[in-house]
Homo-oligomer: A and B are copies of this chain.
Amino acid sequence: MFAVNLLCFSCGETHPLEDSSIVCRKCKGVLNVKYDVNAIERHIDKAILKNRPRSLWRYREFLPIKNDSNVVTLGEGTTPLVQAPRYGAIVELRKLSLKLDYMNPTGAFKDRGSTVSVSKLKELGVKEVIEDSSGNAGASLAAYCAAAGIKCTLFVPEAAPSEKLLQAKLYGADIHAIAGSRTDVAKAAENAWRTTGVYYAPHNLNAFFLEGMKTFAYEIAEALDWDVPDHVVFPVGGGALFVGAWNGFRELLELGWINRIPRLHCIQSTACMPIVEAFVTNAMSVSPVEEAETIAGGIRITNPARGKQILQVLKQSKGAAVAVDDQAIMYHQKALARNEGIFAEPTSCAALAGLGELVDQRIIGLDESVVVALTGFGLKDTKNAEAAFDKVPLT
């Protein structure tokens, strides 16, 4: 294993990889896994990857699990990167590709994180976990816990899409539906953790979950023969994919496998846009916002745990943050399905709506190459898709 320790993003304090604390013991900052990149460089070359299996575990050296026997896998990762010429024409882009990251075992990108975080739980000998989630992360954790034989207790909002709750239930999770805001749900999970002592695995804070997300960047680079796109556009709630992808690109740059990092853009909902607010006001940190309704439930995070890190990535990658409303999300969901035969859930389609905004603002040039992350399958939330079909005429 080439992972060395856990490094606090805020104060730089290091912790052993086996530390069960979710945040820095010194300053409560978020933790990141630190690697010995030189050792990785001596150990593998990108050409070796051609002989590796179709799984994100092909990037084994970049993942913080000691023993292969602890790897809990359901065949996640290596999702398709497809060209979208017909949808691209709508937003006037000639070089648009979509990363169909919903083509993961539970139908959402969260599986990238869960395969690593649950493998780590297995390695640590954990038998039982608690998590809070708006839906996709919970369903994903439940699936990997089922495969690992770990008991999983989930705290979810009462209003989470029934499909995601059904998944988690079938995977065997013990589910507590909480009335109130998303923050109330997180509080209920924290209370359960404090009173029971059961391992708490909140995915947006979990350093191992974040490591799985890096593979999103590796896959884009490898699929394009290490010639990365000019821009990558993400729907951002907790920011694990956004920050994870940055970490991935940065590692590849350090290794010399790529020669630049794409500009990474962050799309939020106008109903919940703490990062956009911090970005436009040039704030150094993200202030929590009030919770409001949006069909993009996956990015309705009022107080992102990795807020500072997200702002840093925006700055370092020269990315932008914009917000879009539900009407635009619904329009792009329908336009994508109609023109490309791709059905993504509303949260993913927020990224598409935001893409149009970035083109309009000339942040993305018409001849530049762009990848958009489609993070959740359309069947994860059929009610809003039905509504979109009826409400939004395509011109």
> A residues within 8 Å of B by Cβ?
50-51, 53-55, 73-76, 78-82, 86, 100, 103-107, 142-147, 149, 162-163, 166-167, 169-172, 223, 333-334, 337-343, 377-380, 382, 385-386, 389
Contact = CB atoms under 8 A, between A and B. Distances in A.
A128 to B, nearest CB: 16
A103 B75 contact: yes
A146 B73 CA distance: 33
Contacts of A80: 54-55, 74-76, 105
A337 B171 contact: yes
A103 B100 contact: no
Nearest to A82: B75
Report which residue of A76, A78, A172 has the largest number of chain B beta carbons within 10 angstroms of its beta carbon.
A172
A358 to B, nearest CB: 24
Nearest to A333: B170
A166 B100 contact: no
Nearest to A338: B172
Contacts of A100: 74-75, 105
B341 A382 contact: no
Given A54-B80, A86-B149, 7 more contacts: A54-B54, A74-B100, A75-B103, A163-B379, A167-B379, A170-B337, A170-B343
B103 A146 contact: no
12 contacts: A74-B100, A74-B341, A86-B147, A105-B341, A146-B340, A146-B341, A166-B386, A166-B389, A170-B334, A170-B337, A170-B343, A170-B385
Contacts of A147: 86, 339-342
Contact of A341 (B103, B171, B379): B171
